[in-house]
Structure 1
Amino acid sequence: MAGLVRRVKGWVASPATKLRDARKLIAKGKLGEAFPLLGQAAQAGLAEAEFLVARCYLEGAGVPPSAPEGARWLERAATQGYTEAQSMLAALYVRGLPGADAARGGEAQALAAGRPAAALFAADEAVRPDFERAAHWARKAADAGSADGQALLAYILTSGPEAMRDLDRAEALYRKSAAADCAQGCLGSGLALLRKATTDEQMREVAGLLRRAADAGLPTAMYLLGVMTERGQGMPQDIPAAVALYRQSAERGMRSGQARYGLALMQGNGIKADLQEGESWLRRAALQGDPDSAALVGDLYARGGALPPNHAEAATWYRRAAEAGHKAASRALGLLYLTGAGVPRDPGEAARLFRAAAEAGVEQAKYDLAALVMQGEGRPEDSVRTREWFESAAESGDLVAAFNYGVCLAEGVGVERDDQAAARWLRRAADGVVNAQYWYGRLLCEGRGVPANAEEGRGWIARAAAAGMMDAQVALGEMLVSGRGGKRDHHEALGLFQKAANQGHVGAMFALGALHGGGHDVPWNRPEAQKWFRMAAERGHALAQMMLGRYLARALAGEQNIEEARFWFQQAIERGATDARGDLAALPPRPEPPDASIAGAGGGPLRSSAAAR
Structure 2
Amino acid sequence: MKNKFFLTIYIVSIALALSSCNYFEQKKVVTCEPMDSLPKLEQCAQNNDIQSQYNLGARYLNGVEAPKDLEKAFYWTEKAAKQGYTAAESNLGWLYSIGGGGKKDEKKAIEWTQKAIKKGDVIAYSNLGYFYSHGIGVPIDFKKSVEYYQIAANQGVAEAYQNLGVAYLNGKGVPKNTQKALDMMKKAIDGGSQTAIYNLGNIYSSIGKNEEAILWLRKAAELNLVFAQADLAGKLAESAKTEAEKQEAKQWLEKALAQNEPYAYAAAGVLYSEKNNVFPINEKKAYEYYMKAAELGEEQAQTLLALWYWEGRYVPKDEIKAVEWFERAANNGEIKAARKLIEIYEQGSKNIPKNKARKQYWESKLTVIE
Task: From the CA coordinates, give the structure whose radius of gyration is larger.
Answer: 1
Aligned mate of 2:134, from 159, 162, 172: 159
Aligned mate of 1:352, from 298, 317, 320: 317
Superposed, 1:433-472 pairs within 5 Å as: none
From the superposition, tell whether residues 93 and 253 of structure 1 become closer, same or farther in structure 2 (CA, over 3 Å).
Answer: farther
Contact 2:146 2:164 in 1 (8 A): yes
SS in 2 for 1:94: helix
Aligned mate of 1:32, from 20, 36, 39: 39
Q: Distance in 2 between matches of 1:329 and 1:213?
A: 37
- 1:183 paired with 2:121, answer no
Superposition deviation, residue 166 in structure 1: 3.7
From the superposition, tell whether residues 359 and 167 of structure 1 become closer, same or farther in structure 2 (CA, over 3 Å).
Answer: closer
- 1:150 paired with 2:125, answer yes
- 1:22 paired with 2:32, answer yes
Superposition deviation, residue 265 in structure 1: 1.8
From the superposition, tell whether residues 80 and 296 of structure 1 become closer, same or farther in structure 2 (CA, over 3 Å).
Answer: same
State the TM-score, normalized to the length of structure 1. 0.40
- 1:330 paired with 2:312, answer no
Aligned mate of 1:196, from 171, 179, 183: 171
Contact 2:32 2:52 in 1 (8 A): no
Which amino acid is 1:289 matched to? P
SS in 2 for 1:80: coil
SS in 1 for 2:27: helix
Q: Deviations 1:89-129 (Å, cap 9, x if unpaired)?
A: 11211121244xxxxxxxxxxxxxxxxxxxxxxxxxxxx63
What is residue 21 of structure 2 aligned with on the other side? none
SS in 2 for 1:352: coil
Superposition deviation, residue 201 in structure 1: 9.5
What is residue 373 of structure 1 aligned with on the other side? none
Q: Distance in 2 between matches of 1:164 and 1:334?
A: 36
From the superposition, tell whether residues 55 and 207 of structure 1 become closer, same or farther in structure 2 (CA, over 3 Å).
Answer: closer
Superposed, 1:193-272 pairs within 5 Å as: 193-196=168-171, 202-232=177-207, 238-268=209-239
Q: Distance in 2 between matches of 1:229 and 1:161?
A: 29
From the superposition, tell whether residues 270 and 182 of structure 1 become closer, same or farther in structure 2 (CA, over 3 Å).
Answer: farther
Aligned mate of 1:288, from 261, 267, 275: 261
Contact 1:74 1:88 in 2 (8 A): yes
Unmatched 5+ residue regions in structure 1? 1-5, 100-127, 337-349, 362-383, 387-613
- 1:90 paired with 2:68, answer no
Contact 1:35 1:62 in 2 (8 A): no
Aligned mate of 1:321, from 283, 290, 294: 290
From the superposition, tell whether residues 76 and 273 of structure 1 become closer, same or farther in structure 2 (CA, over 3 Å).
Answer: same
Contact 1:154 1:171 in 2 (8 A): yes
Which amino acid is 1:88 matched to? N
SS in 2 for 1:277: helix
Q: Distance in 2 between matches of 1:57 and 1:224?
A: 25
Q: Distance in 1 between matches of 2:324 and 2:76?
A: 51
Contact 2:45 2:56 in 1 (8 A): yes
Superposition deviation, residue 71 in structure 1: 2.4
Percent identity over the alignment is 23
From the superposition, tell whether residues 81 and 243 of structure 1 become closer, same or farther in structure 2 (CA, over 3 Å).
Answer: same
CA RMSD of aligned residues (A): 4.5
Q: Distance in 2 between matches of 1:62 and 1:200?
A: 40
Contact 2:60 2:69 in 1 (8 A): yes
From the superposition, tell whether residues 357 and 89 of structure 1 become closer, same or farther in structure 2 (CA, over 3 Å).
Answer: closer
Aligned mate of 1:71, from 50, 68, 74: 74
Contact 1:282 1:294 in 2 (8 A): no
Per chain length, whose mean CA-contact separation is higher, i.e. which structure has more relative contact order (CA < 8 Å, sep 6+)?
A: 2
SS in 2 for 1:181: coil
Contact 2:269 2:290 in 1 (8 A): yes
SS in 2 for 1:274: helix
Unmatched 5+ residue regions in structure 2? 1-23, 295-300, 327-348, 352-370
Q: Deviations 1:114-160 (Å, cap 9, x if unpaired)?
A: xxxxxxxxxxxxxx632211111111222222221110111112213
What is residue 468 of structure 1 aligned with on the other side? none
Superposition deviation, residue 63 in structure 1: 9.2
Q: Distance in 2 between matches of 1:58 and 1:214?
A: 21
From the superposition, tell whether residues 160 and 230 of structure 1 become closer, same or farther in structure 2 (CA, over 3 Å).
Answer: same
From the superposition, tell whether residues 89 and 268 of structure 1 become closer, same or farther in structure 2 (CA, over 3 Å).
Answer: same
Mean alpha-carbon deviation: is it higher for 29-38 or for 132-141? 29-38
Q: Distance in 1 between matches of 2:245 and 2:233?
A: 9
Q: Distance in 2 between matches of 1:157 and 1:201?
A: 18
Q: Distance in 2 between matches of 1:304 and 1:357?
A: 29
Aligned mate of 2:272, from 293, 297, 309: 297
Q: Count residues in correspondence.
A: 294
Superposition deviation, residue 210 in structure 1: 1.3
Which amino acid is 2:289 matched to? R
Contact 1:31 1:61 in 2 (8 A): no
Contact 1:53 1:73 in 2 (8 A): yes
Contact 1:265 1:272 in 2 (8 A): no
Q: Distance in 2 between matches of 1:317 and 1:180?
A: 45
What is residue 360 of structure 2 aligned with on the other side? none
What is residue 50 of structure 2 aligned with on the other side? 47
